[in-house]
Structure 1
Amino acid sequence: MASHNMTWIGYPSKNLAFNSPEEFEAFIASQNVISRLMHCYIAFFVPTGLIAGICILIIFIKNYVQHKVIENLDLLLLDFTISNIIMILLSFTVITRPDYLKATHLACNVLSFFFNFSYFNSQYVFLLTLLMLLLQRFPPRTALSKATQRPILCVGFVLIYAFCLSLTEAVLVGTDNYHLATDCQLDPLFAWPEYEIIKFTFGFAIPSFLQILCFTVLFVKEARAEAPAFQQHIRTYPAVYIISITILISRLFYNLMLLFRTTFKLRKSIGTPKNELVMNIAEIVLFCESCASLVFTLCFHKPCKDEILKVIQNCRRKNTANNHLEIPVTATTDENGSQ
């Protein structure tokens, strides 16, 4: 249990003794980098992601009100959208960078719980989306096919699974010093090493392996004769495949940095300011992925894209109609008063 005593740990930027001007300059440079990245994220990615997320919610709700039914894929993407919006809202904790949010251990653990819940839920509900498309192309005659035809039950199962994983992670943050103030990240630095290991295993390794397996089956296995060609299948669901690649790349970087941080904990080392900088960059990249996923959903998912095009066309018609309005001509009179 020695590894569970994390009272010694701290951020390298908070425990520096500069032995030379070069070390001080390197520290200032790393602080400037993270500060600029944070401002770029808050200024550009956050508004874009939130606007895209709100538009997706409005479109899905509008379609449901009109047709009284929601497509299976739309239901999964709705859950995915809500999870990403929550992650973007929680990402406001990076506003204080290069410093960290000040909070008690308990408050930090609560923030971490909601962050992990959204993180796990978005990961697995998107995996469920891929699985549904796979079974659509290669329909099995098994209970699995019947299960995917009831997406509400599938989403409920994913939510329960994500809740259990998040609760486990909350326990692994540690149960001591809840009343004390600390520097808070959404993945707390003072969490036990098992925290990062569980998150990497169940939040990235397993779902990514299944995701790659789905891609492999799609590429390698030959579909039924009546099924559309693979290229046509990709063109029908471009948003899903674009987002899959985005998630895989950004979360790979983030989770590798989490594991790298765990190695420091096991060695009883706090690392260097450069290690801290890379971890902060990985965190912001993860939040950027949430924003980008919502933008890709809005731009490439057919119901959303059609609604956006419809709005643009209506705006063009109104502008055209306004430009063709007849301008009234006033009559002029000559000096004799005749018109």
Structure 2
Amino acid sequence: MTSHNMTWISYPSKNLAFTSPEEIEDIIASQNIISRLMHCYIAFFVPTGLIAGICILVVLIKNYVQHKVIENLDLLLLHFTISNIIMILLSFTVITRPDYLTATHLTCNVLSFFFNFSYFNSQYVFVLMLLILLLKRFPPRTALCKATQRPILCVGIVLTYTFCLALTEAVLVGTDNYHLETDCQLDPLFAWPEYEIVKFTFGFGIPLFLQIPCFTVLLAKAAPAEAPALQQHIRTSPALYVISITMFMCRLFYNLMLLFRTTLKFQKSTGTTKNELVMNIAEIVLFCESCASLVFILCLHKPCKDEILKVIQNCRRKTTANNHHEIPETNVPHESGSQ
């Protein structure tokens, strides 16, 4: 297919041979914007997200060691946290912005595979968590719903499914010129147009299609008499509902930009400098969402929140105890020996 010959494509900021002075000014302005956004992301979001993720892992693993059992939701949160930490680590590829990471096609494809694996993984594990919350309010009746009571099986299915999706995306990046160097993004520019279409369909469209019935049933269906009130049910796991809004907004923007890039490929157009800038912003927004999701879990998920409060209280007690044990210094006046 002619659409699979992507040798013509390049970033507008890299194609300076036929640019006018006005376009060069636009490139400089766009590079300044993306450079500042990158520095803000690396300075604030990355440390916060990684610290939150590590704290979540410590709390959940500590609870499992103490009680020798882990709740279904906590197991999925553990999986979700690991996926987001991997995404944050892969986001270090934006450090070179406004320039791009220089790598071979093969290396870029490998990075893209792990990025897509984590991306799909976090999306479908989150759908599973919403389903478990829904079934806490509406007890399962079908065998399919009862299968969610075995989260290890569900995690295994999600891992297998997302591995296949990531492998499919790796094939759609293209199989030519593996030894040649290129400007690399985690969503490679030189990927076939089908790459973005598959990613939008299976990474955003289908998960959204699965989430809508969950929220519709939760809000519209009358719960059994013994079930808690809706507000009380939402308060039991507020982190997931906050994350659902954040994920939807950030990933919608990101996926729309991917689709827009696909239309440019079908039109045999490299786009403008502004198109490149918005795509770079969408990529950083996606990484910010991973950091924010971990912070929401740490601050709003009850086991993590209780552990943080316990640590803060212990620190205050130690500080108070140290203050009480300090002996105040007394200033004794020095009397002269002269009489």
2:51 is the counterpart of 1:47: no
Output the TM-score relative to the length of structure 1: 0.96
For 1:13 and 1:333, locate their aligned partners in 2 and report how far apart those are by CA, in whole Å.
76
Kindly report which structure 2 residues correspond to 1:149-168, keeping only aligned pairs within 5 A, or say none.
149-168=149-168
- How far does the alpha carbon of each residue in 1:148-169 deviate from its partner, in whole angstroms, 9 at most, with x for none? 1100000010000000000000
Residues 1:20 and 1:188: Cα distance change in structure 2 (over 3 Å): closer
> What are the ranges of 5 or more consecutive residues in structure 1 without an aligned counterpart?
none
What secondary structure sits across from 1:223 in the alignment? coil
- How far does the alpha carbon of each residue in 1:281-302 deviate from its partner, in whole angstroms, 9 at most, with x for none? 0000000000000000000000
Between the aligned residues of both structures, percent identity stands at: 84
For 1:131 and 1:149, locate their aligned partners in 2 and report how far apart those are by CA, in whole Å.
10
> Residue in 2 aligned with 1:288?
288
2:31 is the counterpart of 1:6: no
For 1:249 and 1:228, locate their aligned partners in 2 and report how far apart those are by CA, in whole Å.
29
Kindly report which structure 2 residues correspond to 1:129-208, keeping only aligned pairs within 5 A, or say none.
129-208=129-208
For 1:265 and 1:19, locate their aligned partners in 2 and report how far apart those are by CA, in whole Å.
20
What secondary structure sits across from 2:187 in the alignment? coil
2:276 is the counterpart of 1:276: yes
Kindly report which structure 2 residues correspond to 1:58-69, keeping only aligned pairs within 5 A, or say none.
58-69=58-69
Q: Which moved more, 1:227-236 or 1:14-23?
A: 14-23
What secondary structure sits across from 1:265 in the alignment? helix
Amino acid at match of 1:65: V
- How far does the alpha carbon of each residue in 1:190-230 deviate from its partner, in whole angstroms, 9 at most, with x for none? 00000000000000001012112211111111111111111
Amino acid at match of 1:96: T
> Residue in 2 aligned with 1:81?
81
2:94 is the counterpart of 1:94: yes
For 1:134 and 1:142, locate their aligned partners in 2 and report how far apart those are by CA, in whole Å.
14
For 1:333 and 1:85, locate their aligned partners in 2 and report how far apart those are by CA, in whole Å.
61
Output the TM-score relative to the length of structure 2: 0.96
Q: By how many angstroms is 1:275 displaced? A: 0.2
| Counterpart contact for 1:56–1:81, Cα < 8 Å | yes
Q: By how many angstroms is 1:322 displaced? A: 1.3
Amino acid at match of 1:275: N
For 2:330 and 2:26, locate their aligned partners in 1 and report how far apart those are by CA, in whole Å.
74
For 2:18 and 2:175, locate their aligned partners in 1 and report how far apart those are by CA, in whole Å.
34
Residues 1:317 and 1:192: Cα distance change in structure 2 (over 3 Å): same
Q: By how many angstroms is 1:244 displaced? A: 0.7
2:44 is the counterpart of 1:32: no
Pairs aligned (count): 336
Q: Which moved more, 1:82-91 or 1:135-144?
A: 135-144
For 2:175 and 2:329, locate their aligned partners in 1 and report how far apart those are by CA, in whole Å.
81
For 2:11 and 2:100, locate their aligned partners in 1 and report how far apart those are by CA, in whole Å.
10
Kindly report which structure 2 residues correspond to 1:227-306, keeping only aligned pairs within 5 A, or say none.
227-306=227-306
For 1:77 and 1:154, locate their aligned partners in 2 and report how far apart those are by CA, in whole Å.
13
Amino acid at match of 1:67: H
What secondary structure sits across from 1:183 in the alignment? strand
| Counterpart contact for 1:239–1:296, Cα < 8 Å | yes
CA RMSD of aligned residues (A): 1.7
- How far does the alpha carbon of each residue in 1:85-123 deviate from its partner, in whole angstroms, 9 at most, with x for none? 000000000000011000000000000000000000000
For 1:13 and 1:288, locate their aligned partners in 2 and report how far apart those are by CA, in whole Å.
24
For 2:332 and 2:16, locate their aligned partners in 1 and report how far apart those are by CA, in whole Å.
85
What secondary structure sits across from 1:182 in the alignment? strand
| Counterpart contact for 1:132–1:148, Cα < 8 Å | yes
For 1:64 and 1:45, locate their aligned partners in 2 and report how far apart those are by CA, in whole Å.
28
For 2:177 and 2:171, locate their aligned partners in 1 and report how far apart those are by CA, in whole Å.
13
| Counterpart contact for 1:18–1:24, Cα < 8 Å | no
For 2:16 and 2:135, locate their aligned partners in 1 and report how far apart those are by CA, in whole Å.
55
Residues 1:267 and 1:334: Cα distance change in structure 2 (over 3 Å): closer
Amino acid at match of 1:205: G
> Residue in 1 aligned with 2:222?
222
For 1:312 and 1:250, locate their aligned partners in 2 and report how far apart those are by CA, in whole Å.
32
Q: By how many angstroms is 1:19 displaced? A: 5.4
For 1:334 and 1:293, locate their aligned partners in 2 and report how far apart those are by CA, in whole Å.
63
> Residue in 2 aligned with 1:103?
103
For 1:51 and 1:111, locate their aligned partners in 2 and report how far apart those are by CA, in whole Å.
23
What secondary structure sits across from 2:325 in the alignment? coil
For 1:174 and 1:272, locate their aligned partners in 2 and report how far apart those are by CA, in whole Å.
24
- Runs of 4+ aligned residues of structure 1 deviating over 6 Å after TM superposition are 328-335
